[in-house]
């Protein structure tokens, strides 16, 4: 499914109703979604919850939208979702465009094939320190290329928990690895 374009995945999802198509499409943009949420909400946990909430909302309603360019449409949806959360909490909207806040590159690089030995050692040590559900979910997602649905099927965890375990596991790994490499 990775060879499909955004438009093909969306069309297949609308035609068949199979969640795998939308899940594949959404997963492509999780780093962007998380980064936007973090930029507006300025809370890692709240941003992770927003990523999950947006997925759940869209997965049941997206078939009713006419979307020309998915990425642009998704950007608007995420921004509106964040503004809605901020309005509900009556918080002032302060936008920090610091690229360091954007999640993805550093964390995802840790799971790439070409990391140095120190990082790999730190990653393995930190992976062992994760709580079991996070360790299992992160390992299956990054090392075994399992989808959220596959992890749910194999572990019995619910979908929302798997998403949370992966997000929190990545954050905990990043913190742990940074501590280990500074020593």
In terms of domains, do 17 and 56 share one?
yes
Q: What is the CATH number of the domain that holds 120?
A: 1.10.10.10
Distances in whole angstroms, Cα of residue 26 to Cα of each of 51, 78, 133, 163, 183: 10, 12, 22, 12, 37
Instruction: Say what the pLDDT of residue 147 is.
Output: 84
In terms of domains, do 22 and 70 share one?
yes
In terms of domains, do 30 and 72 share one?
yes
Instruction: Say what the pLDDT of residue 105 is.
Output: 43
- Kindly state the tokens that stand for 75: 């950007």
Instruction: Say what the pLDDT of residue 89 is.
Output: 79
3-state DSSP assignment of residue 116:
coil
Q: Is 13 a domain residue?
A: yes
Q: Which domain holds residue 173?
A: 104-182
Residues in the chain: 183
Query: Which of 88, 121, 155 is at the close of a domain?
Result: 88
Instruction: Say what the pLDDT of residue 93 is.
Output: 46
- Which long-range contacts does 73-78 make (Cβ < 8 Å, 24+ apart)? 74/29, 74/32, 74/33, 75/32, 75/36, 78/32, 78/33, 78/36, 78/37, 78/50, 78/54
Instruction: Say what the pLDDT of residue 1 is.
Output: 66
In terms of domains, do 22 and 74 share one?
yes
Instruction: Say what the pLDDT of residue 52 is.
Output: 94
Q: Is 134 a domain residue?
A: yes
Q: Is 97 a domain residue?
A: no
Q: Is 176 a domain residue?
A: yes
Helix (H) or strand (E) holding 144: none
Helix (H) or strand (E) holding 123: helix 117-129
Q: Is 39 a domain residue?
A: yes
Nearest partner of 134 among 103, 100, 163, 105, judged by Cα: 163
Averaged pLDDT, groups of 10, the chain, 183 residues long: 85 90 92 92 92 91 84 90 86 45 44 63 86 90 82 87 89 87 71
From CA 93, how far away is CA 83, in angstroms rounded? Answer: 8
What letter would DSSP give residue 182?
A: H
Q: Is 18 a domain residue?
A: yes
Instruction: Say what the pLDDT of residue 115 is.
Output: 56
Instruction: Say what the pLDDT of residue 102 is.
Output: 38
Q: Is 56 a domain residue?
A: yes
Total of domains in the chain: 2
Instruction: Say what the pLDDT of residue 98 is.
Output: 42
The number of CA neighbours under 13 Å toward the Cβ of 166 is 29
In terms of domains, do 144 and 74 share one?
no
In terms of domains, do 120 and 159 share one?
yes
From CA 73, how far away is CA 2, in angstroms rounded? Answer: 20
In terms of domains, do 82 and 108 share one?
no
Q: Is 111 a domain residue?
A: yes
- Whether residue 165 contacts residue 173, with contact meaning beta carbons closer than 8 Å, is answered with no
- Kindly state the tokens that stand for 177: 């690895």
From CA 42, how far away is CA 95, in angstroms rounded? Answer: 9
Q: What is the CATH number of the domain that holds 38?
A: 1.10.1740
The whole-chain average pLDDT of the chain stands at 82
């Amino acid at each position: 499914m990775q060879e499909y374009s955004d438009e093909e995945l969306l069309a297949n999802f609308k035609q068949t109703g199979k969640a795998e198509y939308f899940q594949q499409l959404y997963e492509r943009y999780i780093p962007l979604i998380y980064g936007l949420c973090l930029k507006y909400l300025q809370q890692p946990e709240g941003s992770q919850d927003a990523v999950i909430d947006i997925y759940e909302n869209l997965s049941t309603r997206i078939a009713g939208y006419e979307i020309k360019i998915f990425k642009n449409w998704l950007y608007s949806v995420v921004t509106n979702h964040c503004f809605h959360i901020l309005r509900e909490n009556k918080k002032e909207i302060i936008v920090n465009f610091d690229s360091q806040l954007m999640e993805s590159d550093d964390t995802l690089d840790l799971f790439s094939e070409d990391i140095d030995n120190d990082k790999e050692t730190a990653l393995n040590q930190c992976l062992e320190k994760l709580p079991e559900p996070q360790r299992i979910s992160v390992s299956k997602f990054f090392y075994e290329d399992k989808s959220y649905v596959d992890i749910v099927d194999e572990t019995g965890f619910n979908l929302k928990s798997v998403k949370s375990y992966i997000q929190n596991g990545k954050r905990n790994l990043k913190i742990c690895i940074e501590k280990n490499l500074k020593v």
